[in-house]
Amino acid sequence: MTTEEHEWLKHNQNFTFYNDDYDSRIFFVDNGVQKGLYPYLIEDINKKLNTKFSIEVKDVDVLHEQFNKLENGAYFDFANTKERRENYFFVPTLYRVSTKIFFKDSKNIKDLVSLNHKRIGLVDDWYSTTNFVNQYESSLHYIPVKYKSLNELTAALQVGDIDAFVADTQVITDKAFPTLDLPRLENLYTSFAISKNNIELYTILVKYFTDLKSIEVKDMVKKSREDYFIYLFKKNEELKGLGVTVGYGINEFPASYLISNQYHGIAPTLFDSIKLIFKDSVNFTEPTLGECVDYDILLSTFENKCITDNYLLTKPYYSFELSVFNKLEGNFISRIADVNYSTVGILKNAYYYDYVKNNTLKVKMVFFDTFEEIIKAINDGEIDYAFGDQRLLLNHTINHDMYDLKTAGTLTKTFSVYMAVKKEHEALFKAINLISISSDNERLIKNIYINENEKFKRNDLWVLTSVLSGSLLIITFLLFRDYLAKKSQRRLLTMNESLIGSLEMASLYSDEETSEHNKRINIYSEHLSNLLKMPKAFVEEIRMIASLHDIGKIGIPHYILKKPGKLDPDEFDVMKQHVNIGYEIIKNTDLSLITKNIVLYHHEKWNGKGYLHLSGKDIPIEARIVSIADVYDALRQKRIYKEGFTHEVAIKIIEEERGVSFDPAIVDVFLKHHEEFRAIFENNQ
């Protein structure tokens, strides 16, 4: 800590943070006691800095007036806007939220178009309202109805005075209302707004969040979340004295699965919270593996007739598109009919059996008890293809060192995992549904494969430009951490997978349009490396790490990344720095030289006119491979600033750049097999 920071703390031991009087998981007052994530953060800051910071609650109108007068202090939950940045510094506080439409009538509201001529409740003081109005006022012909608080909104929706209301996902009520996404709106970030005459506090808090450990965040988020639901449901008389039986439902990664006779996964993690939340009202039996109608609650189940006849289903907490697997040298598929006349492996009682049976012709099905048996059967040539969740395949290949398999194609059919509650327990269902769809759950579940690696060193070059993404990333490291950490200690490969996953998610937060692009880059690069007959170890590695090529974009300002038109020369000079930033991010990690070469040199050109002016075979071959993959996919992909080109146009451009931008020998192989790259693009949207 600097001398100036020490001096500031010495004279500001009792500094005040201000917050309004709303109820949410991040701040609420229970019997006069402040609870939620913000109080836990302030408590932790006080403990580490030996301060006596406090939170003062004020009416939202008073708070806005004080804020606009630039009165001294720090403020929670004031959105980070260009105008406000003139007078305030903003430090993110671990929470990313999105703005949604909350409604009640699912029959009449199915999409955004159905909001036309509907009465929509709005709270003027909320930034989510301003954001919504600015983006949708001209395209949605809705009827605005103004209210002052969340309580007024929910009451109006319940009695039918409005058809829907706008709020962000930190808002929660005792009702699990359906929601609609608002795709034009960017995510909002909860922040400390700190007046610029307190620059020392700003730098202190940036350092605090940078150094905050994931285990500390895990404890704070878990405790504040559970505290809030206990507070929310403790007056629910319908749940008092209720006794229910509980079953796991399916036994499959990642929902619920056995390791050393103990269940792990999303379902048991959720159930631990549910037990704690209702510990004084509901008596739960300890769950065992069970099926439909055997239990009052199933923690992980797929939709089928037995379930829908007897249970109420929560919003799905895990979803995936059905994928097809085969051996590395096998064909790609673009539709399920491509497996006709082949032998396919399928799990006994698989939830996707009917779908496969009804959409294929003359397929021989071989049934297996476990996914491990399916993988072995593919390896041994007993079956041609297998069906399942792509992440399930990834989990098994990592844990069993099997890298001779690939995803041959991803189908459009989506399967989802639910919690199910017997219809006679409707009050308990509503409560559990509300818990299962909280924004904490949604964000964590999407990223359960990411494991923090403490060898990932931050440095000053990008910390300040990416602190927003970095601090939000901490939350994604919470589920399955212990299990994956043990694996990472035993195998360097798993450690690197975890680190790669963390870096990929950092890149995703910086530029969310690149998610599927990065996935395809891995597949293209692996396939092209195989065609070039590169060593097996090289192919395995490039399959994992090619997606990190643009990690440095985390340090590029969003106004440049998201610019809808062509970059001017100065902006392009900034954009070119992403290769150097990326290298700085990973240079102190245990990632390989191949990874570092790809990050630093993937924009080099064969003729020497790339970013760093390497030419010909001085450019590492891994960078030359990723360069072609990156350009092909970028040409095909629709982005904010352009429409996507057809495969034919993209191929013609790459052919024209043979010997100019690209290695001629690699281009020749790429062009010879160009239809296979078309299939990869079309199967991985």
**What does the radius of gyration of the chain's CA atoms come to, in whole angstroms?**
27
Nearest 5°: phi and psi at 681?
-65, -45
Q: Is 553:511 a contact under the CB 8 Å cutoff?
A: yes
State the pLDDT at residue 438. 58
Q: What is the pLDDT of residue 526?
A: 92
Helix (H, G, I), strand (E, B) or coil at 191: strand
Residues of the chain predicted below pLDDT 70: 93-97, 170-176, 186-190, 214, 391, 394-404, 437-516, 557-559, 562-565, 589-590, 639-642, 685
Q: What integer pLDDT is reported at residue 487 of this predicted model? A: 41
Tell me, what's the pLDDT at 399? 58
76 strand-pairing partners: 192
In DSSP notation, 75-137 reads EES----TTGGGTEEEEEEEEEE-EEEEES-TTT-SSGGGGTT-EEEEETT-HHHHHHHHHHT
348 burial type by CB count under 10 A (0-12 exposed, 13-18 middle, 19+ buried): exposed
405, 375 in Cβ contact below 8 A? yes
Cβ 547 vs Cβ 598: under 8 Å: no
CA distance 104 to 180: 11
Residue type, 97: V
C-alpha span between 398 and 484 (Å, rounded): 11
Per DSSP, the three-state class of 324 is: strand
For residue 366, give Cα distances in angstroms to 86, 125, 328. 66, 60, 20
Report which of 647, 644, 648 is spatially closest to residue 634, judged by C-alpha positions.
Answer: 644
pLDDT for 564: 64
What pLDDT was estimated at residue 89?
87
> How far is residue 26's CA from residue 17's CA, in Å, rounded to a whole number?
14
* Cβ count near 73 (within 10 Å): 18
* Strand locations in 148-251 (E): 164-168, 179-181, 188-195, 242-244, 246-249
What is the phi-psi region of residue 170: left when phi exceeds 0, alpha when psi lies from -120 to 50, beta otherwise? alpha
pTM (2 d.p.): 0.55
Q: What integer pLDDT is reported at residue 22 of this predicted model?
A: 72
Residues paired with 263 in a beta bridge: 258
pLDDT, residue 496, reads 42
DSSP per-residue letters across 371-406: HHHHHHHHHTTS-SEEEEEHHHHHHHHHHTT--SEE
Predicted local confidence at residue 395, as pLDDT: 64
The owner of tokens 């939830």 is: 351
| Rounded Cα–Cα distance for residues 274 and 257 (Å) | 19
**Cβ neighbours of residue 665 closer than 8 Å, sequence gap 6 or more:** none
SS3 category, 31: coil
Total residues found in the chain within this entry: 685
The encoded tokens of residue 34 equal 């402040």
Q: What is the pLDDT of residue 506?
A: 44
The DSSP output letter for 520 is H
- pLDDT for 199-251, tens place per residue? 899 889 888 877 777 678 778 878 888 898 888 888 788 888 899 999 988 77
Contact status, residue 92 vs residue 183, Cβ threshold 8 Å: no
